Every structure is written in structure tokens, then in C-alpha cells.
Amino acid sequence: MKKIEIKKLKPNSKNPRTISKKKFERLKKSITDFPKMLELRPIVVDENFVVLGGNMRLRALKELGIKETFYIQQNDLTDEQKKQFVIKDNASYGDWDWDTLANEWENKSLLDWGIDVWQPEEEVDYSVLDDLDIGDTLDNKSAGVKRAIQIEFDAEDYEEAYQLLKKAREDGKNVGLIVLKALRHDT
């Protein structure tokens, strides 16, 4: 892995990403707390040392007074590939599994590492709800609410099932009721 002096790297003037002050401070803290991450995820630059991936890290490194960092240089990218890299490097393709995060990691650690997790602004006093009779209100609100059940089909039957369900809905039929009646007759 190669290292370079920070002053030789050029921020990308066309970088479309921004960062809030709060998240930027977290980024700086994460670099200070876990500098090995810089080696594991180096800054990516083009042949002119313009940053393609890692503009916010570069800014954080400068503010922290760090003099050099790890980098990867890509000399063979077209202008279109460079533009594509800048976007794809910052795109979030997946979503967090919040249940796994909640059960396997501590909120404080996640916050320190840059993941926004729900934190109450202050302790909430739920005792005001004790005197409320919300049973009828909930029953009234759920009246007429539709719910969904997922139905699985083998791959070879999927398209036919999809088209039949689509047509039934277009014809104003209650597909759920049709399925329920069919199941009742089979048992």
C-alpha cells in the first residue's frame, strides 16, 4: 500500500457529496479512534491526484493535521468512468438491518462510528397515557384497514399468477376474499 503527502492530493471540485458539521466531527473522531481504517480504505485518486473517492476523509485529515495517508491511483479511467466512480463510491446500495444492529451492537459505538441511531432527546414520561382509554379509538382506526399476506409461487407459475391477480384487481374483485374462500373449501 502506498502513502502520499496530503498536500499533494487535490480535492475534487465536482464532488457532489456534502457532510453536516455533526457528521464531519464524527468522521474526524473515527479517524482518530481507528487510523488503521485509512489503510483498509485508502483514498482513490486519478492520474492528476484529484480525489475520486475520499474527499471528506481528505478534508478531515487536513483539519486533523495529518501529513500523509494511504492512496490508490487509477491512471487508466476515462472521464466518464471517473464521474461514474465518484457517484458509485458514494451510493448506498444496501439498507441497515436495524434489528441486528440493535441486538448485536451498542448504540454508543454505532454513533461513534458514524451510524445515526435513534436516541431520545430526553426521558419521555409515558404516564400521561395511563388515563387514556385508547381501545375503542384503536378499534375504530383499524376498521376497514386492509392487511397483506405474501403468497409465493414457483418461478414457472409466477407470471401467470401475476397477470391473473392484476386482472382480478382491475375488475374490482377482492383477491384476498377469493383466496380465503378457496382455502376454506379445500379444508
Of 176 and 42, the one with more pLDDT: 42
**pTM for the whole structure:** 0.59
Q: List residues bridging with 2 in a β-sheet.
A: 71
Distance (Å, rounded) from C-alpha 109 to C-alpha 122? 19
Burial of 38 (0-12, 13-18, 19+ CB in 10 A): buried
User: Over pLDDT 90: what percentage of the chain?
Assistant: 39
Give pLDDT tens digits for 37-95.
Answer: 999 999 999 999 999 999 999 999 999 999 999 999 999 999 999 999 988 887 777 77
Q: List the alpha helices (DSSP H) in 34-106.
A: 36-40, 55-64, 79-90, 98-104
The class of domain 2-92 in CATH terms is: alpha beta
**What residue spans define the domains of the chain?**
2-92, 144-187
